[in-house]
Amino acid sequence: MKIVVDSREQRPFTFAHERYGDVEVAPGTLQTGDYSLVGLADKISVERKGLDDLVGCLCKERERFEKELQRAVGLDAFCVVIEASWGELASGRFKSKMNAHSACQSVTSFMVRYKIPFVFAGSRQGAEYITWSILHQYLEGTTKRLKSIIKAHGVDDAA
């Protein structure tokens, strides 16, 4: 699996854990999100957020963040993976004066409006695993569909 990490990502995941198997990580420029698959950036992407970064996107950076969510709607698969728990957001464990209830309502509003999941992974390690898993599952599903199409049309794999 070849993962593209947006070159602007400040603390990129390494995907170095043995459970990830054979993963290559390459920097690149992604129009939407922080992580994708080589050759499939127009199909799938994952946006990674720390808790303070997420809350910043609900306040000062809201317009920019909503534009990214609008672009993401056109992808086959997209999600926002947060390196914190919902409980941390709901209890206001972030460096902002934003009201915790308002932050929660903004997130749920985005999920409903854009039909984009926000996955609260609980930790950075959890967020890396979920990011890998989403990319892996998309690649596996796409590979199976492609093999099925090739078989249905009698196309020789070696051609």
Over the stretch 97-128, which tens digit does the pLDDT of each residue have? 999 999 999 999 999 999 999 999 999 999 99
How much of the chain exceeds pLDDT 90, in percent? Answer: 90
Q: What residue spans of the chain are helical by DSSP H?
A: 51-58, 62-72, 86-90, 100-114, 124-152
> What is the band of 144 on the pLDDT scale with cuts at 50, 70, 90?
very high
For 59-78, what is each residue's pLDDT tens digit?
A: 999 999 999 999 999 999 99
Show the domains of the chain with their CATH numbers: 2-152 (3.40.50.10130)
Q: How confident is the model at residue 157 (pLDDT cuts 50, 70, 90)?
A: low
pLDDT at 159 exceeding the cut of 60: no
As to burial, measured by CB atoms within 10 angstroms (0-12 exposed, 13-18 middle, 19+ buried), residue 72 is: buried
CA–CA gap between residue 39 and residue 135 (Å, rounded)? 12
What average pLDDT does the segment 82-109 reach? 97
d(CA 38, CA 94): 34
Q: Taking the CA of residue 89 as centre, how many other CA atoms within 13 Å lie in the half-sphere pointing to its CB?
A: 27
* Statement: residue 8 has pLDDT above 60: yes
Query: Measuring CA to CA, how many Å separate 149 from each of 10, 112, 138, 145, 155?
Result: 39, 33, 17, 6, 9
pTM here? Answer: 0.92
Would you state the pLDDT for residue 154?
87
What's the pLDDT at 43? 97
Q: Output the average pLDDT for the chain.
A: 95
Q: What is the pLDDT of residue 155?
A: 80
Split at pLDDT 50, 70, 90, the class of 28 is very high
